[in-house]
């Protein structure tokens, strides 16, 4: 496929000045040091020009790159995000994952959002950052509580499945009027890629037109349900306070249900929205409310607990360390016909870092082994046995090189230096032990196929082919 020219247009009126986009921008000048495709300049002189540029930009049609490009980072840049202008902190580490979620599945996405940061900047009524595309389609979003959001999202899935079941029953009842072939094409349609989703929408639109001409109460009932013949993507979203702590019982129940739901955990390793209290995700040695002397216990391994179910797709990701692995995990999770959970490292202002370097800190978290990248693919989706793909290499730096960039760790070295030293040593042992466990799992459950190794996104294509 030929390379497409691209222009990034900035809404300077809403820019928060976090500089995160500049830090991660890959396009650098070959002539001038420190100059990139995006640069910080004084707002006043460019304001009117950029407003005109943005107004023109808003008139452009939504892009839809063809084929496999949407499984690659470079192709996704052309997809329209349906999450914009949130009220999150400048440089927030959670919002990039939500933007990606809407780029991939936004026009058929249903989000059950647990109370927390993501529900506050996601539902800051009377405005909302959840948007629609040029066709008027966009995510359906609703907020529930800490303690029942997983069950709330499961309800989405159960109701969708029931409506789909009713639609299929009515199609069968109207077979003499609609024809066997048309019904088979709709019911048996493969709906994995966006092109296949669009094809199903065209079939359903033609069905609606035909149903409007049929004088039968069953046809009238079916017209209220035809939208459920298009595949929906259900995502249950929340932070670590919900997933690891208050809502864990419900989350585990939903994982055990076997239903086709996806869970996205935006893991800041602390109760960010409610004041910075320690959660079960808080690592050993980090300072937080209720852990003023540094957390004494180790971080709960939510991913490993989910792997124990056997039939759950599990991924641990960090966009700042590997954007492609993040994309792969989202696509694989959504394609998996069963429960999935994606645990996303989300840097946070509560960590005590310069938010401009949040993505760099994510990479350090992976490089030191604190946050290994992996994907557990169950023995389903056409695979003979489960696979545990360890997507990051062995730790190359000590934990200290990552941790002491953050105030939540470093402050204890000033107030209680001996305790800080002891906790850091034990935290390093946690890292080493975790890596040994994951390495052993990767050796025991290797990828069954080596096809396309080294080509980003190739294993996603293989997975999609098997669904």
For the segment 347-374, what is each residue's pLDDT rounded down to a tens digit?
Answer: 999 999 999 999 999 999 999 999 999 9
pLDDT at residue 333 above 50?
yes
pLDDT of residue 66: 59
pLDDT at residue 84 above 80?
yes
Mean pLDDT of the region 257-275:
95
- The gap between the terminal CA atoms of the chain, to the nearest Å, is 25
CA distance 447 to 377: 9
Q: What is the per-residue DSSP string for 329-374? A: HHHHHHHSSS-EEEEEE---GGG---GGGHHHHHHHHHHTTSS--E
Backbone angles phi, psi at 187, to 5 degrees: -70, -40
pLDDT of residue 232: 96
* Structural domains of the chain, with CATH: 1-60 (no CATH), 95-154+231-466 (3.40.50.970)
pLDDT of residue 10: 87
Q: Which helix (H) or strand (E) holds 435?
A: helix 417-444
pLDDT tens digits, one per residue of 205-238? 999 999 999 999 999 999 999 999 999 999 999 9
pLDDT of residue 463: 46
Pair 253, 331: CB distance under 8 Å = no
Q: Which helix (H) or strand (E) holds 375?
A: strand 374-377
Q: Helices (DSSP H) in 13-146: which residue ranges?
A: 20-24, 43-57, 73-76, 95-105, 117-122
CA distance 317 to 60: 33
pLDDT of residue 299: 97
Pair 449, 462: CB distance under 8 Å = yes
pLDDT at residue 449 above 90?
no
Q: Helices (DSSP H) in 123-179: which residue ranges?
A: 149-173, 175-178
pLDDT of residue 448: 76
Mean pLDDT of the region 107-134:
93
């Amino acid at each position: 496929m030929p390379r497409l020219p691209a222009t990034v247009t900035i809404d300077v009126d809403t820019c928060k000045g976090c500089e995160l986009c500049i830090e991660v921008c890959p396009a650098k000048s070959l002539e001038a040091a420190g100059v990139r495709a995006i640069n910080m300049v004084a707002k006043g002189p460019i304001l009117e020009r950029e407003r005109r540029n943005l107004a023109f930009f808003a008139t452009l049609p939504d892009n839809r790159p063809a084929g496999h490009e949407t499984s690659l980072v470079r192709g996704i840049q052309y997809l329209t995000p349906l999450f914009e202008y949130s009220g999150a902190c400048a440089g927030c580490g959670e919002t990039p994952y939500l933007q990606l979620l809407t780029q991939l599945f936004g026009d058929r996405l249903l989000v059950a959002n647990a109370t927390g940061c993501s529900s506050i900047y996601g539902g800051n009524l009377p405005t909302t950052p959840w948007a629609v595309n040029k066709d008027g389609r966009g995510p359906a979003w609703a907020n529930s509580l800490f303690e029942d959001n997983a069950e709330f999202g499961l309800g989405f899935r159960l109701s969708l499945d029931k409506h789909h079941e009713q639609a299929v029953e009515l199609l069968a009842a109207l077979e003499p009027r609609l024809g066997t072939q048309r019904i088979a094409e709709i019911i048996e349609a493969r709906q994995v890629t966006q092109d296949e989703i669009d094809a199903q929408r065209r079939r359903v639109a033609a069905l609606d037109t035909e149903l409007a001409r049929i004088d039968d109460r069953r046809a009238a009932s079916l017209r209220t349900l035809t939208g459920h013949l298009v595949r929906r993507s259900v995502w249950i979203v929340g932070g670590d306070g919900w997933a690891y702590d208050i809502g864990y019982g419900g989350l585990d129940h939903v994982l055990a249900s076997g239903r086709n739901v996806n869970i996205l955990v935006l893991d800041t390793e602390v109760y960010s929205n409610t004041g910075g209290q320690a959660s079960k995700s808080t690592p050993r040695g980090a300072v937080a409310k209720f852990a003023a002397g540094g957390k004494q216990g180790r971080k709960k391994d939510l991913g490993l607990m989910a792997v124990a179910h056997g039939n759950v797709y599990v991924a641990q990701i960090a966009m700042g360390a590997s954007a492609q692995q993040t994309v792969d995990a989202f696509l694989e999770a959504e394609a998996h016909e069963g429960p999935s959970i994606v645990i996303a490292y989300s840097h946070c202002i509560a960590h005590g870092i310069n938010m401009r370097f949040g993505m760099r800190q994510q990479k350090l978290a992976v490089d030191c082994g604190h946050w290994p990248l992996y994907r557990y693919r169950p023995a389903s989706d056409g695979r003979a046995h489960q696979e545990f793909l360890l997507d990051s290499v062995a730790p190359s730096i000590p934990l200290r090189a990552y941790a002491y960039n953050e105030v939540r760790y470093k402050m204890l070295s000033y107030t209680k230096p001996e305790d800080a030293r002891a906790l850091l040593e034990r935290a390093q042992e946690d890292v080493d032990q975790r890596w040994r466990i994951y390495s052993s799992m990767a050796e025991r459950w290797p990828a069954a196929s080596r096809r396309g190794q080294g080509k980003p996104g190739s294993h996603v294509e293989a997975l999609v082919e098997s669904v």
